[in-house]
Amino acid sequence: MSDAALWAALADPHRRAVVALLRTGPRTVGEIAQACELSQPSASKHLKVLREAGLVRVRQEAQRRVHTLDPAPLAALDAWLAPYRKLWGESLDALGRRLDAAPDTAEPTPKD
C-alpha cells in the first residue's frame, strides 16, 4: 500500500462513508450499498479501491463476501498527522491565552 493510494482512497466522500460504516462492523456489499445509498456496482468499485489501499479486507463466508476495516493504514495516517495536530493544538492554545488576556471591549447593554 502506498501513501498516495491511501490518500486517494480517502479523498472520495463515498469511500469515507464506507470506512465509517465498516468501523461499526463487517458488512456485505449489499449492506454497504444500501447504507451508503450506492448501487451495488458502485459500492463494489469503491470497495476495490479501499482494498487496494489496504483499508479493507474481504473474506468469503459461504456465498457471501464480507468486508472488514483494516485499521493499520489509518494508524499510519494518524502517526503522520500527529505533528500537525500538536501544531494546531499549540496555535489554538496561544489564541485562547491571547483572548483571555485581551480587555473586554464590549459595551454594556442598557437595562430596562
Q: Where are the beta strands (DSSP E) in the chain?
A: 27-28, 56-61, 64-69
The confidence score (pLDDT) of residue 2 equals: 74
- Please give the mean pLDDT across all residues of the chain: 89
Write the pLDDT tens digit of every residue in 17-66.
Answer: 999 999 999 999 999 999 999 999 999 999 999 999 999 999 999 999 99
Q: Does residue 32 contact residue 47 with C-beta atoms inside 8 Å? A: yes
Rounded CA-CA distance 29/19 in Å is: 13
CA dihedral 5, 7, 12, 18 (to 10 degrees): 80
Residue identified by cell 476495516 is 69
| pTM beyond cutoff 0.85 | no
